[in-house]
Amino acid sequence: MTTGRRIDLRSDTVTQPDEKMRVAMSAAEVGDDVLDHDPTMRRLEEETAARLGMAAALWVPSGTMGNLIALFLHLRRGDRFLASAAAHVLEAELGSAAWLAGGMPHALPWTEGPGRVSVEDVRAFAGNSAPYYALTTRLLCLENTHNFAGGTVTPPDEHAKLVSAASEANLLVHLDGARLWNASVALGVPPAALTVGVDTVQVCLSKGLGAPVGSLVAGSKAFVTEARRVRKMLGGGVRQGGVLAAAGLLALERIEDLAQDHVNATTLALGLAELGWQVVRPQTNIVIAAVPDTGAALQSLDRVGVLATAVPGGVRFVTHRDVPAHDIAEALRRVTAASDPVPAA
């Protein structure tokens, strides 16, 4: 079967900077950000902090570094942190939260639905009244949307309850908001409505918003002053970063476009369900289908030029701005024509 172009649904990170973004990058006003701040970096940091309702923000090369810097400053050796099971900080950052930031992770179950932890579980694991040789639970790490749960959203009221349970238990709160923009668009609330009460938050510009590089970690002014030092320590200070920040500023103007990715994900999920695939209706731009043999399913998809990735027990499709609606339709035609994979019910 001829498949033509590959339809790449492995991740929204495959999005490429378009012509407009490349033009903005080439025209960026720049300075030495490590010496005394690049002007375009400064604009991006101020603009992002404002959108997140935080006092200040710091650009970092990756979301992983943003999470690491936050956890590094929040945790000490002998501390424990709580995170939703299969959180990115637990599964996809090579354990740096433990070996660099020094925190012992504890995964909380998805009591409130896929990716969502309960107030009761936060309270149950937050206690510090233990003997001296017990871990001190220091931090709750939330993730919105939750990547490996299938881009699931935590709404503002549930977020607020978790944050107040954490603060009653003297826990700091870090929000891994790599796709916070998707949550905000799906819920129809500003991003700042989803950061209420957190100490720090990390957001990505290099996923569905289409920037080639960049995340920001936001918090208090004092946090960002310290975060700048840790970023340098990790080798994450960049010089004329304005070239990258210019892409980020344009990315921030594209948040509303994510609504189309969500529509496309729903179309894809409904189409796959019609073909007999086991999928749940997505809340944002991530579709997870349960399959009996992940390797075989990915291979059959690859044969018809549809790229996806493996998750435990299934395959993951991520919609994004470089795969328009007509390509989603084409992907469904290809999967139909392939007849294989037909996952068992």
Ligand X SMILES: *Cc1c(COP(=O)(O)O)cnc(C)c1O
Q: Which residues bind ligand X (CB under 6 A)?
A: 62-64, 67, 88, 143, 147, 176, 178, 204, 206, 215
Least distance to ligand X, CB of residue 142, Å: 10
- By beta-carbon proximity to ligand X, the closer residue of 149 and 323 is 149
205 versus 268: smaller Cβ distance to ligand X: 205
Residue nearest to ligand X (CB): 63
Cα 149 to Cα 291: distance, rounded to the nearest angstrom: 15
Is the Cβ of residue 11 or residue 118 nearer to ligand X in the bound state?
Answer: 11
Least CB distance from residue 266 to ligand X, whole Å? 20
> To the nearest whole angstrom, how small is the minimum distance from the Cβ of residue 70 to ligand X?
11
CB of 151 to ligand X, least distance (A): 9
User: Long-range contacts of range 120-129, CB-CB < 8 Å, 24 or more positions apart?
Assistant: 122/82, 122/162, 122/165, 122/166, 122/169, 122/171, 123/165, 123/168, 123/169, 125/80, 125/82, 126/82, 126/165, 126/166, 126/169, 126/170, 126/171, 127/169, 128/169, 128/170
Burial 276-311 (b: 16+ CB within 10 A, else e): ebbbeebbbbbbbbbbeebeebbebbeebbbbbeeb
Q: Report residue 250 as tokens.
A: 């344009």
Cβ 344 to ligand X shortest distance, Å: 29
The whole-angstrom separation of Cα 90 and Cα 149 is 13
